[in-house]
Chain A
């Protein structure tokens, strides 16, 4: 084992920048995905078929295909198209596709949004009927009922499942390394591997970084659950 290669300044810098890229990818896609998932989940549980069916189809397709294919489809299928490349300086809608990071964020966001939508929709459906009846008895409108009663409780109850989703997305960001222009943690490890031919050192370092990030996320979500789900915790003896 030659771990001293990992601790050379150049390699450390590579991994440091990789961590920043991975976290940036994770943070942007998870945030946008979560925000978008709220209206989508409401549409998903709607009794109106015209609202719920498109969302169902979207989540079904996104959850039924590998994220690698989704990344390839956006990066190689759209951003690498010749007419996209020749027009992305002039057509405003195409400008972001110049950036490989944007392509990955787009794929990751669409993916995580689908999973989050299904989780949140499940939590909304599981809302205790008594709560809804009580809100109606208070004379709340449908909108008030949703914003004041159903969503605050459904968002909290999604938290445990959502923490899994965020961790899956952290691991999913490793797919960014399949896009040539991006250097996330896995990309850094792959470049160290090919420069020094040291697979153990390179990938064990990357694995250790991911483990630390995973445990940090788990810990953060534990704190969040203690804050927002305290009322559902098992009673302490």
Chain B
């Protein structure tokens, strides 16, 4: 029994890796999506609009299966066209990270768009008036003020994202959930309650991760809200 527990604990490292990796992808895509949605270019608005609407309208699991199994075929067909004959298997870790990142990028797009829109325009205009370049205004004026406004919704997205990583177990990645499931069927002979125990244990680890995340993000929120007066009643 102990070795299964240790194994699941080891799997939590992979869960965290997938979660943090996808978060990085999602934040980059979210920033790109938000700027595209707010850009003064119709095609860009459209593209970002379709991205955030379609992705948020389809279950994560279906998208994951589509990108994982479909991407595999697409990649190999593409390589065949270029003249590369050998069959390439996509690394499931990379596929999981890219897929979850791609999905939550759509949610982050909405989060960041809302936050950018809430910053007074004068802030950016003042930057331009000082002769700052577009990217400089974005990273030095917009982003620092955006963090405070985006944090509540970012926290939500992060909590949903961690829980969504459980789905990579269906793609065959040995994360906590998959190890728990394997342990559950392997240890059933030892004690009939094994499946229940292992799933409860795994659930407890997820709960611990979300609890720690909440505490950390609350501290961040305090840090970034310094000097901001909240509506007082």
Instruction: Tell me, in angstroms, the Cα distance from A169 to B199 when the chains sit together.
Output: 21
A105 CB, min distance to chain B CBs, angstroms: 17
- Comparing B59-67, B80-88, B127-135, B145-153, the segment that makes contact with chain A is B59-67
Taken residue by residue from 188 to 215, chain A's Cβ proximity to chain B (1 for < 8 Å, 0 otherwise) reads as: 0110010000011001101100110011
In the assembled complex, which residues on chain A have CB atoms less than 8 Å from the CB atom of B21? none
CB < 8 Å neighbour of A207 from B66, B184, B199, B206: B66
In the assembled complex, which residues on chain A have CB atoms less than 8 Å from the CB atom of B43? none
Per DSSP, chain B at the interface is: helix
Taken residue by residue from 162 to 174, chain A's Cβ proximity to chain B (1 for < 8 Å, 0 otherwise) reads as: 0000000011111
In the assembled complex, which residues on chain A have CB atoms less than 8 Å from the CB atom of B199? 69, 72-73, 76-77
Taken residue by residue from 141 to 181, chain A's Cβ proximity to chain B (1 for < 8 Å, 0 otherwise) reads as: 00000000000000000000000000000111111011000
Instruction: Tell me, in angstroms, the Cα distance from A171 to B64 when the chains sit together.
Output: 13
Pair A77/B195 contact, Cβ less than 8 Å: yes
- Comparing A79-87, A95-103, A225-233, the segment that makes contact with chain B is A79-87
Pair B206/A171 contact, Cβ less than 8 Å: no
Per DSSP, chain A at the interface is: helix
Pair A203/B66 contact, Cβ less than 8 Å: yes
In the assembled complex, which residues on chain A have CB atoms less than 8 Å from the CB atom of B164? 66
| CB of A32 closer than 8 Å to a CB of B | no
Instruction: Tell me, in angstroms, the Cα distance from A65 to B209 when the chains sit together.
Output: 9
In the assembled complex, which residues on chain A have CB atoms less than 8 Å from the CB atom of B186? none
Instruction: Tell me, in angstroms, the Cα distance from A163 to B164 when the chains sit together.
Output: 20
Pair A178/B166 contact, Cβ less than 8 Å: no
Instruction: Tell me, in angstroms, the Cα distance from A76 to B198 when the chains sit together.
Output: 10
Pair A174/B163 contact, Cβ less than 8 Å: no
Instruction: Tell me, in angstroms, the Cα distance from A82 to B191 when the chains sit together.
Output: 11
